[in-house]
Amino acid sequence: MEKKNSSFLRINSLDGLRGLSCILILLGHTWKNGHMILPATIVVMDSFFALSGFLITCIILAEFDKSGTINLVNFWKRRAVRLLPPFYLFFGFVTVIYLISQFKPIIGTDPTVTLLSTAFYASNWALGQGYELGIFGITWSLSLEEQFYFLCPVFFFLALKFFDKKYLIPILLILILGISYHRYQLFHELLPLKGMKFAWHRCYVGLDTRTDSLLIGTLGAIIYRLYGDKFRIGLLFPTIGLITFFSALTIRDVPFALHQQVNSIHTDLVMAIGFPYFATVFLILVIHLVQNPKSVISKFLGHRFLVHIGMMSYSIYLWHTVSFGSMEIVLKSFNQSDILWLLKTIIKFGVAYCLGYLSYSYVEKPILRYLAKKQKYAVDITKIDEKLT
């Protein structure tokens, strides 16, 4: 435990992991000459999924162990208060800009589908059905997580009425394997019928095809809670995992990123085992950070800059497409040379940071302070038992 924030006990290195992941995602959304500069950053989202699944499950189990039940309404209310205000500020701003400018690329191919699916956290399903959502395309992951946040406590509410926690481990394993198999099969069914772009989007953003990464975090939280005092993850496994992860970021032949309509061995591996593999890598890393706050990796991820970015990662992620899109228009002439392109990219990142900072400071931060005062359970995930405040 490194830092106490009101009733929540924070671990700086976990915020640093969010910060590093956020930077990599922004790099993945950076294009040059019509191509992504780091197409393999598609797997970075699994770090957020694994971490979200782990932390949310820790909170749910803490409540269950203290009260003997899970208050679904209160859980959903807390998530709504935490996530919705920054989201709808972003949604409202972009919608107003579109209505004033009538600039179609902002909103995608079908304004009605885009606005409704985004407003009701269903943009992953719209994207998976072939709709272009413009700036709102990045909300697919937020929609997926929100759907998970709705279903996850319901799963535990029902499952813990009939099963001890240890029996949830095989149930979750079956679900994870089933979702991975379903994704791979669906991808190969859609590929010859709909083409690479449709097959990729459908399997990359669907609740039924991507929840395995979130459930891996959930599984890890249960294992850690039940057996975390019986094992310790040292440097070896996280180091091996991170080496494979950063090596994977050098892969270029991800067909969709290169606008190719052919499959590749790397795309096939990602669809089969890549997403759950990297979710497992990040889960192992998360548990290592929790258990070893003074390790080399913890100190690196606990660096002030990464922690700072990590705490604002939600707002930066929301607003970076506004920055990237607007700067592409304003600085279009900067594509004429590599030096000017680099300067444009630095400006895009800087504007994204400034917008994220404003959203975090004036929307997220006050909400976090409010939730810290209202939160009943202070979850210290560095210990097996949680404390009741």
Does residue 114 fall inside a structural domain? yes
**Residue 46 in domain:** yes
Find all residues with CB under 8 Å of 28, minimum gap 6, and list them: 36, 37, 38, 39, 40, 41, 42, 44
388: in domain? no
Whether 326 has a pLDDT exceeding 80, the answer reads: yes
**Per-residue pLDDT, 268:** 87
Q: 212 in a domain, yes or no?
A: yes
Condensed to tens digits (0 to 9), the pLDDT of residues 206-254 reads 999 999 999 999 999 999 999 988 999 999 999 999 999 998 888 776 6
Q: Has residue 196 got a pLDDT over 90?
A: no
pLDDT digits (tens, 9 = 90+) for 258-288: 555 667 787 888 899 999 999 999 999 999 9
Token code pair at residue 315? 């707002």
Distance CA 310, CA 162 (A): 38
Asked if the structure places residue 149 within a domain, the reply is yes
C-alpha count within 13 angstroms, C-beta hemisphere, residue 45? 23
pLDDT tens readout for residues 58-71: 999 999 999 999 99
Q: How many CB atoms lie within 10 A of CB 189?
A: 13
Assigned domain for 155 exists: yes
Cα–Cα distances (Å) from 87 to 80, 91, 97, 240, in that order, read 10, 6, 16, 36
Domain count, the chain: 1
Q: Are strands 377-378 and 387-388 parallel, antiparallel or unpaired?
A: antiparallel
DSSP state of 8: E
Specify if 389 maps to a domain: no
Beta-carbon contacts of 371 under 8 Å, excluding residues fewer than 6 positions away, are 78, 81, 82
76-132 pLDDT, tens digit per residue, is 999 999 999 999 999 999 999 999 998 888 988 899 999 999 999 999 999 999 999
Q: What is the pLDDT of residues 40-90, one digit of tens each?
A: 888 899 999 999 999 999 999 999 999 999 999 999 999 999 999 999 999
CB proximity list for 173: less than 8 A, separation 6 or greater:
219
Domain that holds residue 192: 3-382
Whole-angstrom Cα distance, residue 38 to residue 254? 10
Q: What are phi and psi of 165, to 5 degrees?
A: -55, -35
**Residue percentage of the chain with pLDDT more than 70:** 91
- The reply to whether 345 falls in a domain is yes
